[in-house]
Amino acid sequence: MLVLLKPSYEELSREAARIVAITVKNNPSVTLGLATGSTTLGMYRELVRRHEEERLDFSKVTTFNLDEYLGLPAEHPQSFHRFMGEHFFNHVNMNPDKIHIPDGTLGGDYEEYCRLYEEAIREAGGIDLQILGIGRNGHIGFNEPTSSFGSRTRLKVLTSETIEDNRKFFAAGEEMPECAVTMGIGTILEARKILLLATGAAKAETVAEAIEGPITASVTASCLQLHPDATFVIDEAAAEKLKQREYYRRVMELTARFTPNRLS
């Protein structure tokens, strides 16, 4: 695991976008796993800027999003379909046929639908780079505490904490979804590379548990300790409870000096 400490959210966003951009340039037909949430906004803005000003080409890229709320149509203001269109897809040259986001409105056989989502990932050759955020309770995707490390794409009931954290995005009096379709932890761990972004003091304790705590289903992001190529990009506020902060700074310095490709 590589931990990259950045002084601000803006620097974090630029670094995350740089890693994604290098990945796309090195392999124009790359398959990306994408996340939503406020932490990713700066990264998407910078990727759009690179597309507009530096001609970063997304025309051959395939994407799979992590999750979607159950019951929200794609046009709903808080759907992840809408989020991805407004903040990224509508501003770059993505091929719509290569965009995959879980459908929260099927109302039918979700077990079969989730199986087909997994199959589509396999048919695309697997995910080359998976982007993640982290919830205040340590979840990745919507893999809430107690999720199996072998879990696959499925329906997941949201915890009360996650519902309350996300309620602010919905209109007053609007019913908040209580379930979601999400990639499983086993699905996420099969990505060749993983990039997790975290910002702000509210995430500091969870980030420390994920990076330095025991590997436990109580903090599902801790599963990333098992991954051979996982990178955390975090700002100073999110890093404040890490016990090994100075060591991570030394690792960054020496990695940049002796193995610069590790930061690409």
**Catalytic residue selected from 68, 139, 143, 227:** 139
144 catalytic? Reply is: yes
**pLDDT over threshold 70, residue 263:** no
Give tens-digit pLDDT for 34-81.
999 999 999 999 999 999 999 999 999 999 999 999 999 999 999 999
Give tens-digit pLDDT for 105-130.
987 788 999 999 999 999 999 999 99
Task: Determine the pLDDT at residue 73.
Answer: 93
Record the pTM.
0.95
Q: β-pairing, 129-132 with 193-198?
A: parallel
**Catalytic residue selected from 67, 68, 190, 235:** 67
Give tens-digit pLDDT for 153-173.
999 999 999 988 888 888 888
235 catalytic? Reply is: no
137 catalytic? Reply is: yes
Q: Which residue has the higher pLDDT, 252 or 216?
A: 216
16/11 Cα distance (integer angstroms):
9
81 catalytic? Reply is: no
Query: What are the beta bridge partners of residue 235?
Result: 6
200/254 Cα distance (integer angstroms):
26
- Count of beta carbons in the 10 Å neighbourhood of residue 161: 14
- Nearest partner of 182 among 234, 220, 219, judged by Cα: 220
Q: How many residues are given for the chain?
A: 264
**Catalytic residue selected from 46, 103, 144, 235:** 144
C-beta separation of 199 from 232 below 8 A: no
**Ordered domains of the chain (ranges, CATH):** 5-263 (3.40.50.1360)
Q: In sequence order, what DSSP letters do the residues of 20-43 get, joined into one string?
A: HHHHHHH-TT-EEEE--SGGGHHH
Name the residue with tokens 């980030």.
207
**Catalytic residue selected from 137, 143, 190, 209:** 137
Q: Is 205 helix (H, G, I), strand (E, B) or coil?
A: helix
C-beta separation of 130 from 188 below 8 A: yes
**pLDDT over threshold 90, residue 246:** yes
CA distances for 127 relative to 14, 60, 119, 123, 152, angstroms: 22, 14, 12, 10, 14
Burial 82-111 (b: 16+ CB within 10 A, else e): bbbbebbbebbebeeebbbbbbbeeeeebe
